[in-house]
Structure 1
Amino acid sequence: MATELHDTIFMAKQERHKNLFLNYKNLNIFPVELLKDEGLQFLERLYMKRNSLTSLPDNLAQKLPNLIELYLHSNNIVLIPEAIGNLARLQSLDLSNNALQLLCPEIGRLRSLRHLRLSNNQLKYLPPEIGDLQDLETLDVAMNQLISLPEQLHRCAALQNLTVDHNLLSHVPRQLCWLHRLNQLSMAANRLTVLPLDLGRSRELQFVFVDNNVDLKGLPSYLYNKVIGCSGCGISSHVLAGDVGEALGEVLSDTLVGLPAEVKLIGSKTDNVAPLEELAMRTLHCLYHHRPADLKLLPPISLPKSLLELLHFPLGHCHRCSQAMFTIIYPKLFPLRDTALAGVHRRTTVSFVAYCCSSRCLRTFDLQG
């Protein structure tokens, strides 16, 4: 095997190969032949699937500077070196099915990266620097131990496919709704209790899968005309398959639908005036986001950090008129069993929820509209 490996790498050097396949080679360490002398300066794609590698060399970028794709699926890699950030041309990195416990911040230096696959590892969090990957199109972190996602993900402006199935997420940042190119979002088998109010507002987002989040009882009404997966949602763990029909017959109330932590008040059909704090936030938002050019000379807004962040990223937008909302919402429930989708999604007690900005929008909202 050693002789065959040596001959394969020698030939790749001699003939200036761009692709090198070292899958299923029983490798315990990264081959030193790849790192000798000047390395493989012409190599663009390196495939090392299903070996037993536990680490990567620090001089990987120095010896393989033109790598575009690095495929390390199914090894035993625990840690990737900080020097990974020096692979300036890297577009695809697959570290699925390894033993990663930590993702170094230097991953954010891979500015050419388009596809990052980290499924089936032991990651508990992602570094905020992942938001620096502005060309990233695919991020797969399914089957890890993530309890949260970094808010900075919204800076990955090119992201189209985000997969976070089988983690420990109880919520996802509302900033994800600013990913205007996101087409598919999969969050099945987590611990979600609430979804961002604006989820689905973007026309690009067409596929949303939240199956088997048993404590998730409400879906933003924006998702009604999308392709959604919600089997097993809203069904407590003690409800057995035979009891689903009975569970569906229960009357859902506002208190049964999870709400974001920023919500301070829940409005009703009889409320005519929003609270002063809400009106002030809406006015500031309008002033600083839709102001004429001459108003740009206004001094920065002095607000507590939490409110300033909320000002830049509202809690949501009215599902009826698109007014930004910050501290109060007017929810209107549409149990899925009463909609045209009831026959498609049977094993769920979830409801669609319209989040409105006023009693007027609440009264006039129509799910079919």
Structure 2
Amino acid sequence: MASELHETIFMAKQERHKNLFLNYRNLNNFPVELLKDEGLQFLERLYMKRNSLTSLPDNLAQKLPNLIELYLHSNNIAIIPEAIGNLAKLQSLDLSDNALQVICPEIGRLRSLRHLRLANNQLKFLPQEIGELRELETLDVSMNLLSSLPERLHHCLSLQCLTADRNNLRCFPRQLCQLHSLNELSMAANCLASLPLDLGRSRELQFVFVDNNIYLKGLPSYLYNKVIGCSGCGLSAQVSDVKLLTLALGEMAVTLPAEVKAIGSELDQVVPLEELAMRALHSMYNGPPKGVKILPPILLPKSLLDLLQCPLGHCHRCSQPMFTIVYPKLFPLRETALAGVHRRTTVSFVAYCCSSQCLRTFDLQG
């Protein structure tokens, strides 16, 4: 194995490779061959995932000054040297699945960094200097021990995807609502009790995942018309055979999906309300249950009928069609009736009634 590693690095030096793959090599230490003499001045991408590294060399930036991407996923790295900040050209850094307890403030000197992944470590806090990463587009800090996010994170104006699932987060800093480039926010399985009322006001933010925050009692109205919650069905592999409830809409009886029972549960995932409505309509217009009187298709607008014909995909658990991931693209917040709705305590469920002249709104009180 050592001779094979030596030959791989030797060839990389001789042929001036820009990419070097050292994954799955059972490495306990950073290869000294990479750091000899002038190092690999031309190397741009270094892949070293699934090894047993415990540390990084202090002279990494000196010997590999042109690194653009550094992948260290699934090692045993406990400390990042302060010299990491000298990798001036680094754009992507993956330190997921390691043993990190602290991130040094020098991380803020990586001014070219666009993607930072720190998932599944033992981090209890993040340095405020992360806010100096003005080019950062992706930040993944899921599966750590974080109780808060740095307030200066709102300075990362290029941030598009923030993932902080499975931490101990108790609040969402209101300053982060200023991240106008943010498109996806995922904070599932935390301890959130509330969200800022203006969260989701930006049209860029279209995907918000806050499943399994058992203390969260409500959502800001700006999120009503976005993709909220999990994108799967939320059902366990085995669903108990229980008598389903029905909702009477005039002369029509609509069976409430079993997923409704999961809302508010600590263990079960919650399906977006729009997703449930789309699935129910899809079922009715594509083979209604026996004995159920349905509405003529003419009552639905053409845009909605077109959506019902083409589900984006199907859930891997229950094989039900999935729709809502395309909903925000076709119906932006400003173009819907919900654009002017700012009530804090109710969620409006809009359903078409039997008469084409009637559109009823049922308020589900929280």
| TM-score normalised by L of structure 1 | 0.66
User: In the aligned structure 2, how far is the partner of 1:34 from the partner of 1:196?
Assistant: 48
C-alpha change, 1:11 and 1:152, in structure 2 (3 Å) is same
SS, match of residue 8 in structure 2: helix
Amino acid at match of 1:334: T
8 Å CA contact 1:73, 1:98 repeated in 2? yes
Give the corresponding residue for 1:19.
19
8 Å CA contact 1:120, 1:142 repeated in 2? yes
- Say whether residues 1:171 and 2:171 are aligned partners: yes
Give the corresponding residue for 1:362.
none
Structure with higher RCO (Cα < 8 A, 6+ apart): 1
User: In the aligned structure 2, how far is the partner of 1:331 from the partner of 1:139?
Assistant: 32
Matches within 5 A, 1:31-180: 31-180=31-180
SS, match of residue 345 in structure 2: strand
8 Å CA contact 1:54, 1:78 repeated in 2? yes
Amino acid at match of 2:12: A
Alignment deviations for residues 128-169 of structure 1 (CA, whole Å, 9 cap, x no partner): 000000000000000000000011011001000000000000
Give the corresponding residue for 1:299.
none
8 Å CA contact 2:44, 2:69 repeated in 1? yes
Q: Percent identity, please.
A: 76
Amino acid at match of 2:187: M
Runs of 4+ in 1 over 4 A off after TM superposition: 242-249, 319-322, 350-353
SS, match of residue 139 in structure 1: strand
8 Å CA contact 2:219, 2:344 repeated in 1? no
Amino acid at match of 1:3: S
User: In the aligned structure 2, how far is the partner of 1:169 from the partner of 1:4?
Assistant: 45
SS, match of residue 208 in structure 1: strand
C-alpha change, 1:184 and 1:21, in structure 2 (3 Å) is same
SS, match of residue 219 in structure 1: coil
C-alpha change, 1:339 and 1:187, in structure 2 (3 Å) is farther
SS, match of residue 213 in structure 1: coil
C-alpha change, 1:3 and 1:203, in structure 2 (3 Å) is same
Give the corresponding residue for 1:204.
204
Give the corresponding residue for 1:9.
9
8 Å CA contact 1:30, 1:57 repeated in 2? yes
User: In the aligned structure 2, how far is the partner of 1:351 from the partner of 1:71?
Assistant: 47
| Contiguous gaps of at least 5 residues in structure 2 | 232-241, 243-257, 265-337, 352-362
C-alpha change, 1:230 and 1:34, in structure 2 (3 Å) is closer
C-alpha change, 1:219 and 1:40, in structure 2 (3 Å) is same
Alignment deviations for residues 314-333 of structure 1 (CA, whole Å, 9 cap, x no partner): xxxxx9999xxxxxxx9642
Instruction: Work out which of the residue numbers 327, 333, 340 in structure 1 matches 2:345.
Output: 333
Alignment deviations for residues 95-127 of structure 1 (CA, whole Å, 9 cap, x no partner): 000000000000000000000000000000100
SS, match of residue 36 in structure 2: coil
User: In the aligned structure 1, how far is the partner of 2:365 from the partner of 2:210?
Assistant: 13
Give the superposition deviation at 1:352: 9.3
User: In the aligned structure 2, how far is the partner of 1:246 from the partner of 1:41?
Assistant: 59
8 Å CA contact 1:6, 1:33 repeated in 2? yes
User: In the aligned structure 2, how far is the partner of 1:74 from the partner of 1:247?
Assistant: 34
SS, match of residue 62 in structure 2: helix
Alignment deviations for residues 246-292 of structure 1 (CA, whole Å, 9 cap, x no partner): 9979xxxxxxxxxxxxxxxxxxxxxxxxxxxxxxxxxxxxxxxxxxx
8 Å CA contact 2:88, 2:112 repeated in 1? yes
C-alpha change, 1:79 and 1:60, in structure 2 (3 Å) is same
8 Å CA contact 2:140, 2:164 repeated in 1? yes
User: In the aligned structure 1, how far is the partner of 2:77 from the partner of 2:364?
Assistant: 42
8 Å CA contact 2:86, 2:110 repeated in 1? yes
Q: How many residues align?
A: 260
Give the superposition deviation at 1:335: 3.5
Alignment deviations for residues 220-253 of structure 1 (CA, whole Å, 9 cap, x no partner): 000011111179xxxxxxxxxx99979979xxxx
| TM-score normalised by L of structure 2 | 0.66
User: In the aligned structure 1, how far is the partner of 2:152 from the partner of 2:133?
Assistant: 10
Give the corresponding residue for 2:238.
none
8 Å CA contact 2:221, 2:344 repeated in 1? no
Alignment deviations for residues 41-61 of structure 1 (CA, whole Å, 9 cap, x no partner): 000000001000000000000
User: In the aligned structure 2, how far is the partner of 1:16 from the partner of 1:152?
Assistant: 40
8 Å CA contact 1:113, 1:133 repeated in 2? yes
User: In the aligned structure 2, how far is the partner of 1:193 from the partner of 1:2?
Assistant: 53
